[in-house]
A and B are shown apart, each in its own frame.
Chain A
Amino acid sequence: MFAEFGINDIWILATASLVAASTSMIGVFLILRKQALIGDAISHSVLLGIVLAFLLTESRSLPVMLTGAVFIGLLTAWLSDTLHRVGKLQSDASIGIIFTLFFALGVILVSLYAGQIDLDQECVLYGEIAFVPFDTIYFGGTENGVEIGPRAFWGIGIVFLIVLLSIVVAFKRLETIAFHPSLAISLGINVVFWHYFLMTLVSMTTVASFDAVGAILVVALLVIPASSAYLLAKSLKTMLWIAVAYSQAAVLIGYSLAYQLDSSISASIAVSAGLLLFATIVILQINKKRKQSQSLMFNVENPVEFKSK
């Protein structure tokens, strides 16, 4: 199947795999804290951050992009919350108003400066992971440094390490906040700080994944593997592992799907993540039905024994 499997494919797979691992880990916390929609919103509005950062500094270096995205991401979270409190709007409505505005502004800027920014409308939506290997960076200066691989790979690699480190270091706190928010408050944990910390991680992951998968497919990778894991896992640790496993499976299946159909790699990965989720749901439903009918039969055949239990 992979007759011409070369170094470029390895870079693409490695990048996609890191994107999927980072997003699915962050997604676990979004799902547990019922904040899937704010993840959706941030992944849209990050576009504005990227474009503004580029227009202000004319640089595409990772720190600049990260700063712009984190700034706009936190602004989105804060404005949605403020509009909800001050404007007395439902929280999902205020999220919807803010992120559509930011995303619209981002798209308009992209169209206005189409010649100057290395982004176009389609790329915003589904990224171009196939081009990732051609945009390489050099260690020790562009002129005489050593080529060390694609820019997108190193970007998401650094963000992946940040995410992993944050989760390992703050595991206990994040666990308490995710499962017992009110206990966390009474224990004196600064819930507001950790909320914005999580939003910072979401923004960073989104922007580092942007080149590879675009604005909307990031949402798929944020919520879908984590939801699959949510259906199966019994603890935070297993949920994180299962989510990462699902996301890696989605990358592999999606990549071969894209290869077969000659379709967009990132879209195929997101579709595979969805198909895996639906397969999981179907299996769980069948199991549930079987158990129900078993217990029903059991009940009819041996009613006394069932009751004595």
Chain B
Amino acid sequence: MEPFTLLQPESALSAWDNLLAFWRFEDMNVFWVLIGSILLGMSASVIGAFAFLRKRSLIGDALAHAALPGVMMAFLLFQTRDPLVMFLGAVTSSFIGFFLIDWLPKNTKIKPDAALAITLSFFFALGLMLLSYIQGLNVDNKSGLDKILFGQAAAMTQNDIRLLGYVAIIILVTVTLFFQKLRLIAFNRSYAQTLGISVKFYELLLALLIVMSVVVGLQLVGVVLMAAVLLTPIAAARFWSNELSHMLALSALLGALSALISTQISYLAPAMPTGPWMVVSLSLLFILSLLFAPQKGLIKRYLEHSQLRQKVAEENILRTLYKLLERNQLDQQDFNQADIQALRSIPTESLQKTLKMLCKKHLIESSSRGFRLTKEGFELASQLTRRHRLWENYLNQHAELTPEQVHKQAERIEHILTESQEQQLQAELENAHYDPHGNLIPTQRSSQNTNARES
């Protein structure tokens, strides 16, 4: 089977024509390359997810490198480029690499990370040595062997694609069949063992699937960058969900998408190796997930963080106003910035900003005499103070901390205690009316009383 003809885009226009030609599938081979690479992207991402969960993210990197001498040996021994022969050679040498990575740290002083790097670089060097040896020999068919370093979708033959498709389907079906057991082992290996699951068998199965997906990916992605196809999709999917089945589905989707993009680029510009483009598109998807994922994305986390900081700043001022009220025995209701800053050191700029926010929320009102708590503001402030003092009391009584130690902790917890936690605390500390510093704990009723008195 001949590799399909390469199109050479000369201008943007011809690139566009080529893109149209690509999608009209005038060349059936193009269609099958596309299907094959999407299947590969899906299966590699799914199987890579399990390696990731077992905290062996870079195992794919080592195994892909370890496949290289196998391919070369198979070619040297059988003098053929039959995909199945290459596949078996690659699987054999990857497996030797897999056992070596496992064996070295168990039997010598060498640490696991060094074992990985040793295996990876030694096998790769061996592969390159054999490749350069083959290139010096006078044999047929040797051109194109070097394509498996970076992958070239355009150089794939139909036999390659057929094998790729079969293997990808085997992987997807196996993962679906054994999903429950693989999940259990990935998350809790020792529990799975106590349930009588043959962990060894499933680990071997998983290793076999990883090796197989790495090996069939070589034609498309190449030895050097195969690691990213296993690793990056699941790392990106992790930002979107906590549910394993969702993560797997999403990483399969990302894998398929990047396969789609890179196959097209490789088709439009045949000088371009496919692997690097697949990695770049995956990395872009990863960066997008890292930034924009709705719950764990950096932007969302940053917003939440600054919201929390804003909330804490506001609540601190409310509480300071409450304390000022308390000190002046409710004689004085309006306090200026200097009063607030005398009790709590806040930079003037942020104090003004926060006061403005509080006014906007109608928690305080400003007048020429200063700031005063509104009814809502007073309720919120006494609730915060109650939580603060209840917590101080709790720490003092139950954790046996001295009154000097409790304030700082209460200062943090007051902002995050919930209604029900507050009630629990109150039930626990039934007859506590004063905090460890001797201040009255405002009760719900007393705050209402004060309000009544105010009005």
Q: List residues of A whose CB falls within 8 A of some B CB.
A: 31, 34-37, 39-40, 44, 83, 86-90, 92-93, 95-97, 100-101, 103-105, 107-108, 111, 114, 121-122, 125-126, 216-217, 219-220, 222-224, 227, 230-231, 258, 261-264, 267-268, 270-271, 273-274, 277, 281, 284-285
Contact = CB atoms under 8 A, between A and B. Distances in A.
B149 to A, nearest CB: 6
B55 A263 contact: no
A271 B122 contact: yes
B136 interface: yes
B144 to A, nearest CB: 13
B225 A103 contact: yes
Given A121-B273, A219-B117, A92 B57 contact: yes
A96 B58 contact: yes
Given A100-B232, A103-B224, A111-B271, A224 B57 contact: no
Contacts, number: 179
Contacts of A281: 104, 108
Interface in B193-251: 224-225, 227-228, 231-232, 235, 238-239
Contacts of B149: 121-122, 125
A68 B234 CA distance: 31
Contact of A101 (B114, B116, B122, B283): B283
B239 to A, nearest CB: 8
Given A217-B125, A263-B133, A274 B272 contact: no
B36 interface: no
Nearest to A270: B125
A223 B136 contact: no
B228 A224 contact: no
Contacts of A219: 117, 120-121
A125 B224 contact: yes
B128 A101 contact: no
6 contacts: A40-B121, A95-B58, A104-B279, A105-B276, A227-B110, A231-B108
Contact of A125 (B57, B104, B128, B136): B128
Bin chain B's interface residue count: 35 or more
Nearest to A89: B235
A78 B357 CA distance: 38
A108 B133 contact: no
A91 to B, nearest CB: 9
Given A90-B57, A271-B129, A274-B118, 5 more contacts: A96-B228, A97-B228, A100-B283, A258-B129, A268-B129
* 10 A-B pairs with least C-beta separation: A270-B125, A274-B122, A220-B121, A100-B228, A104-B276, A264-B132, A104-B279, A267-B129, A93-B57, A267-B128
B181 interface: no
Interface string B280-305: 10010010001000001010000000
B87 interface: no
Contacts of A100: 225, 227-228, 231-232, 279, 283
A107 B58 contact: no
A93 B52 contact: yes
Nearest to B146: A122
Contacts of B235: 89, 93, 97
A118 to B, nearest CB: 17
A267 B290 contact: no
Given A90-B57, A100-B279, A125-B224, A114 B271 contact: yes
Given A37-B117, A92-B57, A224 B122 contact: yes
